[in-house]
Amino acid sequence: MILAAAVPALAAESLLERLTDTYLAALRRQARPVRQAARPTPRTGNWEDVRTVLHAHSGLSHDSRGTAEELAAAAKAAGVRAVFMTEHPTPDRRWWNEGLRGDIGGVLFVRGAELSSGLLVWRSDGANWTPEMSARDVLTRLDGTAGVSFIAHPELKTADADWDLPAFHGMEIYNTHADALDNNYEQTLNSLRTNNPLRTLTLVNTLKKYPREAFAAIFDEQTGVLQRWDRLNVEGQARRRRVIGIAANDAHSNVGITVVAADTDVEIRDGLDAVVSRTAKSRFPPLLFGDLSRGSVLLSHRFDPYPISLGYVSTHLLAAAVTEEDLFSALLAGRAYVAFDWLADPSGFRFAAETAAGPVEMGGETQLTQQPRLVAQANMPCVLRLLRNGEELQRVEQGELTAPVTQAGVYRLEAWVRLGETLRPWIYTNPIYVR
């Protein structure tokens, strides 16, 4: 589909329709005033707002070639102060023995693993688990240890029975890889691997022109996951079982295309440098592609370089300091919110309950007898949605909200920004629990 002038600029549905100059230029144009309107401010009080990435892979995972130096430089450039690694584990425990840890280039790294059964684990060295175990078995082994566990790729757990698991700390409420899969990004990659070099050249040049917007074009709100998260927290109220929501960058820096001249043909390689197809040299006119001698790189582009994927979304932790201990304390307390930072820096954002006994932050609990009043403030005008037990309770347009609480429940907040004629989520908070 070609976007016509009468169609809203951001109305394209498929990823292929979005990866056009028309759509990406409109996305850039409409996101610019949002970013410029933000007024980031340091947080006051007991907590720092620490921008954190909680799902990332390096060369210790089979599907990444990233280095510590690349990750650290990208994180620092994006304003990310801590990265919780989630390497794909192997029996030799390289993810633990060689995992990135401590200060690297001014960024704090924490070792961790992602199991194929859909589980992120940190601090799990005290539990005797192996990579081939089910999520249920690993959670059982983690019980009673210092291990920290979060459900990864919850979109794959569609039945209620899938969630009948031993206790876990939280879940991903947004995952970039899941969002890309939902948009059939493999179809887009396959279109680049066809025997139509001019089409490939045109698309790659467009993606190079709009790298951040092209990455953000994958976005569709993961409503089913959010609904599941709300249900788990509402159902868990009676048992005081809470599920903390985090963002998953799922950063690999492994999606791309490189076109390299061979002896008689041209190789098309993927983001891990594996040859996925070949085509005749005669289809690549030197006038457009230059030198066709063996080894010449005719075209190269990476869709998900670390600077882009780490700068797209993150989990902001309200912590006493940027140390592993303090960050885990904030995470496990639920003092956290998810922000699509590529839209705007949310620093200074606040959502809390003011009570007779003092303020209660995200993840905290209060009672109706304390006469709680929910307050929220963003650093720019935006649409704030207050939800109780997953249902919208109040909506305001000005970026500030005050709401006296008269019913027990699970309260969380969403902040949305306007991109032209559309609204797009910017912030998801963790809940405040009122009994």
Checking if the pLDDT of 5 tops 60, the result is: no
Q: For position 11, what pLDDT does the model report?
A: 64
DSSP annotation of 236: H
Those residues whose C-beta lies under 8 Å from the C-beta of residue 346, and which sit 6 or more positions away, are 38, 40, 316, 337, 339, 378, 379, 415, 426, 427
Report if residue 196 sits inside a domain.
no
User: Could you report the per-residue pLDDT of 235-257, keeping only the tens digit for each?
Assistant: 998 888 999 999 999 999 999 99
- Both tokens of residue 106? 């001014």
Per-residue model confidence (pLDDT) at position 140: 97
Residue type, 392: E
Examine the domain organization and report whether 283 and 417 are in the same domain.
no
For residue 14, give both structure tokens. Answer: 């498929």
Give the residue numbers spanning the domain of 298: 256-302
Q: What is the 3-state secondary structure (H, E, C) of 7-28?
A: CCCCCCCCHHHHCCHHHHHHHH
Is 29 contained in some domain?
no
List the structure tokens of 32.
């610019």
- Whether residues 174 and 240 fall in one domain: yes
The answer to whether residues 245 and 298 belong to one domain is no
Q: Do 228 and 274 sit in the same domain of this protein?
A: no
Q: Which of 313, 347, 381 is the last residue of a domain?
A: 347
Domain's final residue, options 312, 347, 382: 347
**pLDDT per position as a tens digit, 61-106:** 999 999 999 999 999 999 999 999 999 999 999 999 999 999 999 9
Return d(Cα 372, Cα 393) in angstroms, integer. 16
Asked whether residue 248 falls in the same domain as residue 151, the answer is yes
- Tens of pLDDT, residues 319-372: 999 999 999 999 999 999 999 999 999 999 999 999 999 999 999 999 999 999
pLDDT above 50: residue 31:
yes
- Tens-place pLDDT, residues 183-230: 888 878 777 776 688 888 999 999 999 999 999 999 999 999 999 999
Tell me, yes or no, whether 242 and 279 share the same domain: no
User: What is the pLDDT, as a whole number, of residue 184?
Assistant: 85
Q: Tell me the average pLDDT of the chain.
A: 93
CATH for 384: 2.60.40
Q: Is residue 27, in this structure, part of any structural domain at all?
A: no
Same domain, 226 and 274: no
pLDDT band at 44 (very low <50, low <70, confident <90, very high): confident
385 shares a domain with 260: no
Least confident of 182-196, 267-281, 380-394: 182-196
Same domain, 71 and 53: yes
Are 356 and 424 in the same domain?
yes
Q: What is the pLDDT of residue 7?
A: 33
The verdict on residue 160 lying in a domain is: yes
Residue 197 domain-assigned (yes or no): no
Q: How far apart are CA 237 and CA 111, in angstroms?
A: 31
Contact call for residues 58 and 68 (beta carbons, < 8 A): yes
CB 175 within 8 A of CB 155: yes
**Residue 194 included in any domain:** no
261 and 401 fall within a common domain: no
Q: Measured between alpha carbons, how far is residue 403 from residues 170, 367, 376, 427 in Å?
A: 27, 15, 9, 18
Q: Is residue 137 part of a domain?
A: yes
Site of tokens 């947080």? 43
Asked, for residue 232, whether it belongs to a domain, the answer is yes
Q: For residues 114-124, b (16+ Cβ closer than 10 Å) or e, as one string?
A: bbebbbbbbbb
Domain count, the chain: 3
What confidence score (pLDDT) does residue 234 get?
Answer: 97
